[in-house]
Structure 1
C-alpha cells in the first residue's frame, strides 16, 4: 500500500519505517527541511534502538522517503496517518498541530476526486476524530465523510523498545468511521498476525488512554504503598511487592513454571513516572472528565502522588545527612527511562532542581540524554557539571543517586563506595550483593 505519515517524531518515524520494512511504500512528511534531509540519507534525528539500521534498509529498498511536500505525498496515497504532537497545555490536550495538519489535507481533498482515508495515529482524547477531525476535513474540503475515509489507529510504543513493539505488536486497534477505511486498515496490517480490535474511533481513542491511565495508576499506588512501608518501619516495599508479584493472577503458574510478565515492572517502587505519554495522557483524560462534570478522583490521586514522588529523594537525604549545601552529589540517569534520550517529564529534572535549591554540588551523567537535559533545565544547567565517565566521578562524589534503571549502574556494588551514600531511587541494585556504601532507597525506613 501507499502510505503517507505526517510527522516524524518518535511515533511517526518509527511507524513509517516499520510499515516500509513490512513491504508498504511510505512517505514521511515533516516541515523541517534539515530533518527531511537527514532522514533521506539514513540519519534519524531521534534516538531509538535499532532505528538507524532499519531506516537504512528501507531507504535502500526504495520503500521509504521523506519530504516537506504534504500534497505531493498524499495525492498517490491510500492512507494518510497523522502522527503529529499532542502536548499538554495546562493539563489539557493541545490539538493545534492536528487541526493544522487536517486543514492542509482537507485543502488538498477540495481539489481532487481522489479518495483518501485519513487515520489519526496521534494520541487524542475520545471524541476528537469523529468531531474535530471530521468537521475540519469537511469544512476545508467542502465534502462529507464518504468522499474521504476516517479512522483512528493508536500506537502502543515504549520508547527504547519502539521498533520491537511495532514489529511484534501485541494488539492492533483498527478504529474506523467507514467501511472503506476499515478495509484499508486491514490491508495495512495484514502482515501482522496479532489480535486486532475493530471498533469505532471513540473507542480506539479511549483504549489508548485507558491503557496508559491504568499503567500510571499501578505505578502511583505502588509508590504510595512504598512511602507507607517506610513510615511504618521494619518493612521493605520491595519485599512486599515480591510477595504481591507471586499472586498467580499477576504471575500465572504453567506446566513450564511460573511466568513473570512485563507488567510486573510497573509494580516496583521508584521516584515516579515521566516521559511523553503517561503524564500528559493522564492529565488530558482527567481534564476531559472534569469538563464533563466528573470529579476524576482516581486520576487526580495518581497525578498528585507522582508529582510528589521525586521530592522524596532530597527529603530522605536531608533527614539522613542534614543540610546538603556543598555536598558532592552525582546523579546517574537523566532520561525518564533507560535506552532513550527523552527527558520529557523526567523525575531527574525535579531531583536535580531540588538538589540545586539545597545548594548541593551536582554532577550528572546519562549515556544518551545529557544534551536534551541541558535544554530542558535551561540556565540551571550552568550550575551543573556533566560527566562523560560516571565511574571516574565516584571518587569525587559523597552522594550517588541512581535515577534511572540503567543496567550499567549495577556496577556500583563492585566500585569503591565505602563511606559514601548511594540512593537507589529505582531499586536497581541489591545492597546485599556487596554494596559497601550507606544504602538508601524508596520504600524503606532510614536506619
Structure 2
C-alpha cells in the first residue's frame, strides 16, 4: 500500500517507519524542514530503541520524508499523526488536526477517482474525526464520503518500547463509519498478529482516552496508598505485590513513586476532564488523579528539606530528567516541579541524565548539568532520584562521595541501604 503519514513527531515517525518496515511505500510529511532532512539522512530526530535500524533499512527504499503533501493524492491512506497539545484550560488544541485535514483535502481534489482513506492516529476528543476531520477533508476536496473513507486508529505506543509495541500490538483498534474504510486500515496491518477490534469512530476515540486515564488512575491510586503506607511504616511495594497478584487487578502500573509524566497521560486526562465538563459532568475521580500527580513529586523536596533543615546554597544532586527511562523526552517529567522547588529554595542543583540533559537545558539553563552521576553526587548534601534508569540501580560507591548521604528516591530502583523512598 501507499501510505502518507502527516506529522513526523513521535507517533508519526515511529508509525511511518514501522509501516515501511512492513513493506508499505511510506511518505512522512512534516512542516519542519530540519526534521525532514534528518529523516532522509537516516538520522532519527528522537531517540527510540530500534528506530535507527529501521531508518537505515527503509529510507531511500520505501520510506521518505517531505514538507509537501503532493503524495497524498497517489496514496491509499493518509494517517494524521499531528500533535494535540493542551490549551490553558486543559482541553485539546485541535488546530493542527484541522490544518492537516485541510491540506489533505486540497491535495485529494487533484485526483477524484481514487478511493482514499483518511485515518486519525492522533489522540483526539470523541467527535473530532467526524466533526472536524471528515467535514474539513470533504469541504476542501470537493468529494463525498462514498469515495473518501474515514477512520480513527489510535496508537498504544510506550516511549522507549514504541517499535516493539507497534510490531507486536496487544490490540489494533479500528474505528470507522463504514466497512470499506475499516477493511483498508485492517489490510494495512495484515502482517501483524495483534487482535483487531472494529468499532464506531467515536468509540475508538474514547478507547484511547479511557486507556490512558485508567493507567494514570492506577498510578495515582498507588501513590495515595504509598503515602498512607509511609505514615504507617509499611512497605507499599510489599502491599502492591500482594494486590497485583489478583488477576482482576494485575501488577502493572502499581509502582508507587513520584507520579506520571510524558506526552500522553497528563495531557489526555486533562483533556478528558475538560470534555466531561463541557457535557456538564463533574469527573471527580479524574480530577483527583491529576491533583495527586501534581503534589506527589513535591513530597521529595519536602522530605529533603526536613532532613537538611535548609536547602539554601546546598549542593543537591538530581539523578534523572527524562519522564521515564530509555527516552530523552522531558515532557511533564516529574523532575521539572522538583527542580523548580529546589531553585525556589536557592539550592545549587547538579543534574545528570543519560539522555535528557540537553532538552532540560531549554527549561532550566541556570542549573548545573553533569556528564556522570558521580560528578553530580560528589560533595552533594542531598540526592533526589527521579527517573528509573537501570544504570542508577548499579550505583553504590558513588554515593560515598556525597558530603552527607541523604538520598530520596522516587522510583524504587536503588539497591543501596542508605536511602528513603518518597512514599515507602
TM-score by length of 2: 0.96
Q: Secondary structure of 1:143's match?
A: coil
More displaced 10-residue stretch of structure 1: 406-415 or 272-281: 406-415
Distance in 2, matches of 1:95 and 1:386, equals: 36
1:370 corresponds to: 357
Q: How does 1:26-425 map to 2 (within 5 A)?
A: 26-59=26-59, 62-70=61-69, 72-90=70-88, 91-113=90-112, 114-231=114-231, 233-250=232-249, 264-375=251-362, 377=363, 380-382=364-366, 384-417=367-400, 419-425=404-410
Deviation of 1:393 (Å): 3.1
Give SS of 1:234's match.
Answer: coil
How far apart, in 1, do the equivalents of 2:207 and 2:116 lie? Answer: 25
Q: Does residue 440 of the first structure (1) align with residue 407 of the second (2)?
A: no
Map Cα deviations across residues 135-185 of structure 1 (whole Å, 9 max, x no partner): 112222233212311111100001111010101111101111222211211
Question: Secondary structure of 2:59's match?
Answer: helix
CA shift for structure 1 position 353: 0.7
Give every structure 1 segment of 4 or more consecutive aligned residues whose post-TM-superposition deviation is greater than 4 Å: none
Deviation of 1:267 after TM superposition, in Å, equals: 0.4
* Distance in 2, Cα, partners of 1:73 & 1:394: 52
- Residues 318 and 376, structure 2, Cα contact 8 Å, conserved in 1: no
Q: Give me the whole-angstrom Cα distance separating, in 1, the residues matched to 2:399 and 2:73.
A: 63
**Cα pair 2:394 2:415 within 8 Å, conserved:** no
Query: 1:86-106 CA deviation, whole Å, 9 max, x = no partner?
Result: 111120000000100101111
TM-aligned CA distance change 1:389 to 1:415, over 3 Å: closer
Distance 1:414 1:244, change over 3 A: farther
What is the Cα deviation at residue 394 of structure 1?
2.4
Contact 1:134 1:150 in 2 (8 A): yes
Contact 2:3 2:78 in 1 (8 A): yes
The structural deviation recorded for 1:123 is: 0.6
SS in 2 for 1:104: helix
Contact in 1 for aligned 2:174/2:182 (Cα 8 Å) = yes
Total equivalences in the alignment: 420
Kept in 2: contact 1:272–1:310 (CA 8 A): yes
Residue 426 (str. 1) matches residue 408 (str. 2): no
- Cα distance change on mapping 1:192 and 1:416 into 2, 3 Å: closer
- How much does 1:76 deviate? 1.2
Aligned-residue offset at 1:245:
2.3
1:175-199 residue CA offsets vs partner (Å, 9 max, x unmatched): 1122221121121011012100001
SS of 1:93 mapped into structure 2: coil
Aligned partners of 2:381 and 2:293: how far apart in 1?
27
In the other structure, the counterpart of 1:256 is none
| Ranges in structure 1 where 5+ consecutive residues have no aligned partner | 252-263
- Tell me how far 1:249 sits from its aligned partner: 3.6
For 2:221 and 2:6, the matched residues in 1 are separated by 37
Q: Secondary structure at the match of 2:407?
A: strand
Q: Post-superposition shift, 1:248? A: 4.2
Distance in 1, Cα, partners of 2:137 & 2:189? 25
User: Under a length normalisation based on structure 1, what TM-score does the superposition of the two structures give?
Assistant: 0.91
Specify every segment of 5 or more residues in structure 2 that has no aligned partner in the other structure, as ranges: none
> Could you give the per-residue CA deviations for residues 13-44 of structure 1, whole angstroms, max 9, x where no partner exists?
00011001111111111112221111111011
Matches of 1:210 and 1:226 in 2, distance apart? 24
Aligned-CA RMSD value: 1.4
Question: Distance between the aligned counterparts of 2:376 and 2:409, measured in 1?
Answer: 17
Quote how far apart the aligned CAs of 1:269 are.
1.0
Output the CA distance in 2 between the equivalents of 1:248 and 1:124.
31
**Residues 331 and 364 of structure 1 are in contact (CA less than 8 Å); yes or no, is this contact kept in structure 2?**
yes
